[in-house]
Structure 1
Amino acid sequence: MRKTASDPAQRLRLLSTAPSDPGLHADLRTAGAFASSGPAVAMRYLDLTLPEIANNLALDEALLVAAEERGAGPSLRIWESPTLAVVLGASGRLHEDVLIDACLADGVAIARRASGGGTVVIGPGALNVSVVLAADVAPGLTAVDVAQRFVLDRLADAIRARGPAVEVLGSGDLTLKLRKFSGSAQRRLRNHFLIHATILYDFPLHLVPRYTGLPRRQPSYRGQRTHEDFLTNVPLAREKLIEAITGAWLPANHPPELVIPPEDLIQELLAAKFADPAWIKRL
């Protein structure tokens, strides 16, 4: 295992390049309870983007493992890749889902996450939201579909309160007028689960068909539409979108508390999975 700095501030510098917005401070804060309706539960907040796509996927998983194995508690993370990347789901098929030649020609990274769901293109203009919760914070969350809806409904309500008429459709999509601006995926351990979503707010949609093919499985509401006819950006400024997301999960007046991400877990997960070419090419 890599030797780490003993000073917490120095360890954070070793991990991070920037928060999701360079003008913001990266912070992980413990909140007293969910804002608005919902179960009372301590919540942590992390606004942090790591240098490589594999590191960011490893950090999401590390937050889940830390909650499960170390009692770290639930968390909300926001991050935004500064470069384009294609991310496969755990069961995605590399040579069917990804237009590899175009990715190689343009220098677009290809990665694979540990959660389910389809293949996505991310980058500037696509905000990533990761929620880690215990399965006992509300009734029914041991069921995959109930947990997915629990998180997606909360996000939809928060965005809807700021204007856009958001609907939750399919197995975990946020939509506007039957056009998708967010997909989500889930990863479960025994007592905790991770749901992460990508929210398109200012993303160049024409790049999606350049790097990915049409999905093998499509929700009925898609109606066999092309990427261009099916996808959209949510009409909210970035800061308003983050305000909606954090407002859905964190009390507005709780003082922030800086917490260091689990660097040892990140490094272990990178070595065992996310930075391993065999993991990306497994299917």
Structure 2
Amino acid sequence: MTELQQTLPPVPPAGLTTRKLRRWLYGLLFVLFGLLIWHSVFIPIESGQLGVLWSRFGGGTVKDHVFGEGYRVIWPWNRMQIYDVRLQDMHGTVETLTADALRVSVDVTARFAPRATDLTTLHQTVGPRYRETVVWPDVVEAVRHVIRQLKPDDLRVLGEVELAGKVDAAAREAIQKHWVDLDRVLITRIALPDRLDAEIQDKLAEEQKLLAYQYILKQAEQQNQKWQIEADGIRQFEEKSHISMLKWRGIEATEQLAASPNTKIVVTGNGGSQIPVLLSGDK
């Protein structure tokens, strides 16, 4: 044996190296395969979510069961669609025409949630894009349906709250037919053309002035009626008593002065129709 052969390490058998390489290769392939199918097998369902299973070899969508929160394990060839069943909202601006063909824009917010008991039907019939497919188009149609029946000054009189109530009533039934529950519709802004808006403001101001003037006239009419009643009462009194109201007031004043404990001076007139006058004698 030469000196070079003595310094070299012994060469392992070829069969042992091949087996190790195969083991490492199989292990690596197994890990890669596990990583590839991990998200298809282990499905996390977060809080406020539900899952609908589509089974490739089980007849498609599983209609009689929805999956609740937690990790769910399924076959890698099946699919789990996750739905957020909490209260959600959508915002947007709707442009439409009024009853007299004037263009207005309305800022709308819709609050809604998919109906958990009908989630499988919603998934099979509409799909996960139900917000864009069903909810928002129904809200837009409800806004246009309501505003088409109103004039611009009606919009100002109604305001955002009452208009939102009308839109809510119009949209609710249509949305619920598509297995979604509508919580509320909000109107945050009604934008009219600047010229038209100024005209409506002027018209409303004139209406307020007219209402104020009508109120003044009504008050004057009521005061006139009061005076008329008083005059009728005085006339009836004079007709029955044959005493004028002025003389009667003098008699009342004389009685009040006579009731005073102070010294009085009596002044009488020449005519019998004149009433005596009592003057206080105190200095």
TM-score by structure 1 length? 0.19
Structure with the higher helix share, 1 or 2? 2
TM-score, length-normalised on structure 2?
A: 0.19
**If you compute each CA radius of gyration, which structure gives the higher value, 1 or 2?**
2
Answer 1 or 2: higher relative contact order, Cα 8 Å, separation at least 6.
1
